[in-house]
């Protein structure tokens, strides 16, 4: 069963990427963090939503038969509230598959952000919108004559992170993690408990208790 919007809303306000990453590690899910090159356009925003994936491949022309925007348009038009467009470009730094117009269309449908290892463009306008985008870089290059989304809503990879449709994408200034859908509720609830423990650790450290003593008591660093 998909995780509820209420839990995602709570997670967005309480959690942060590092504590989720630690929780995933503790569950043996060691490759869920996206590469550190995937950075937020706005470091003050937090992203939390359900993945809608798209896979890109390089092309070197465009015509009516190829129609490079076909699947991209269909995916964006089908976005639902709390969705996150996740565009896997296999590290292709020749394309910016996301920009201000896609952000506008996605935002109108209740989607909460985009994550891509490709580039993003129209940065000034996206920042003014407050729409959260994580990208592998910034550049003006359109996908036309350069790449096409070949499939949507299929398993994808960005770096070592495997991302399936419906997985939970969580991102903040520290980066992005992908939480498998089947374990998302367990991970988020465990992370919230960990946050409570970290608050106790922080208080004791602030009062001068040694790091060794606090770690021995809580097992948290």
Decide if pLDDT at 221 tops 80: no
Report the Cα 31 to chain-centroid distance in Å.
14
CA dist 137 and 11 (Å) reads: 27
pLDDT at residue 215, rounded to an integer: 77
Convert the pLDDT of each residue in 174-208 to its tens digit: 999 999 999 999 999 999 988 876 676 677 777 78
SS3 letters across 69-127? CHHHHHHHHCCCCCEEEEEECCCCCCCCCECHHHHHHHHHCCCCEEEECCEECCHHHHH
Decide if pLDDT at 4 tops 70: yes
What tokens were used for 207?
Answer: 């009062």
| Domain chopping of the chain, boundaries | 33-178
Q: Which of 54-68, 139-153, 204-218 has the weakest average pLDDT?
A: 204-218
Contact status, residue 18 vs residue 174, Cβ threshold 8 Å: yes
pLDDT at residue 72, rounded to an integer: 97
Decide if pLDDT at 216 tops 70: yes
Tokens 């092309």 locate to: 59
pLDDT at residue 65, rounded to an integer: 92
Decide if pLDDT at 1 tops 80: no
Cα four-point dihedral sign 7, 8, 11, 13: negative
Convert the pLDDT of each residue in 68-96 to its tens digit: 999 999 999 999 999 999 999 998 989 99
> What integer is the mean pLDDT of 160-181?
98
Which band of pLDDT confidence, cut at 50, 70 and 90, is reported for residue 140? very high
Question: Does CATH number 3.30.1130.10 belong to domain 33-178?
Answer: no
Other C-beta atoms closer than 10 Å to the C-beta of 22 total 16
> What integer is the mean pLDDT of 43-72?
96
* Structure-derived torsion over alpha carbons of residues 18, 19, 25, 29, reported in degrees to the nearest 10: -80
pLDDT at residue 197, rounded to an integer: 63
Portion of the chain with pLDDT greater than 70, in percent: 95
Strands 132-135 and 113-116: parallel
Q: Which of 46-55, 105-114, 176-185, 197-206 has the weakest average pLDDT?
A: 197-206
Decide if pLDDT at 50 tops 80: yes
What tokens were used for 209?
Answer: 């208790």
Decide if pLDDT at 142 tops 90: yes
What tokens were used for 33?
Answer: 């963090």
């Amino acid at each position: 069963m998909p995780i509820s919007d209420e839990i995602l809303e709570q997670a967005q306000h309480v959690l942060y990427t590092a504590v989720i990453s630690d929780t995933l590690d503790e569950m043996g899910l060691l490759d869920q963090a996206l590469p550190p090159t995937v950075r937020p356009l706005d470091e003050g925003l937090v992203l939390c939503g359900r993945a809608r994936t798209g896979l890109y491949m390089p092309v070197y022309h465009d015509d009516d038969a190829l129609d490079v925007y076909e699947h991209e348009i269909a995916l964006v038009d089908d976005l639902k509230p709390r969705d996150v467009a996740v565009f896997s470009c296999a590290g292709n730094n020749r394309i910016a598959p996301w920009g201000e117009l896609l952000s506008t269309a996605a935002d109108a449908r209740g989607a909460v952000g985009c994550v891509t290892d490709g580039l993003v463009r129209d940065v000034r306008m996206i920042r003014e919108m407050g729409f959260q985008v994580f990208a592998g870089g910034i550049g003006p290059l359109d996908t036309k004559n350069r790449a096409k989304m070949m499939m949507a809503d299929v398993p994808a990879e960005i770096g070592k992170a495997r991302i399936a449709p419906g997985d939970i994408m969580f991102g903040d200034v520290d980066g992005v993690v992908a939480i498998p859908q089947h374990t998302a509720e367990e991970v988020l609830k465990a992370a919230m408990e960990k946050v409570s423990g970290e608050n106790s650790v922080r208080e004791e450290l602030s009062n001068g208790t040694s790091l060794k003593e606090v770690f021995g008591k809580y097992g948290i660093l």
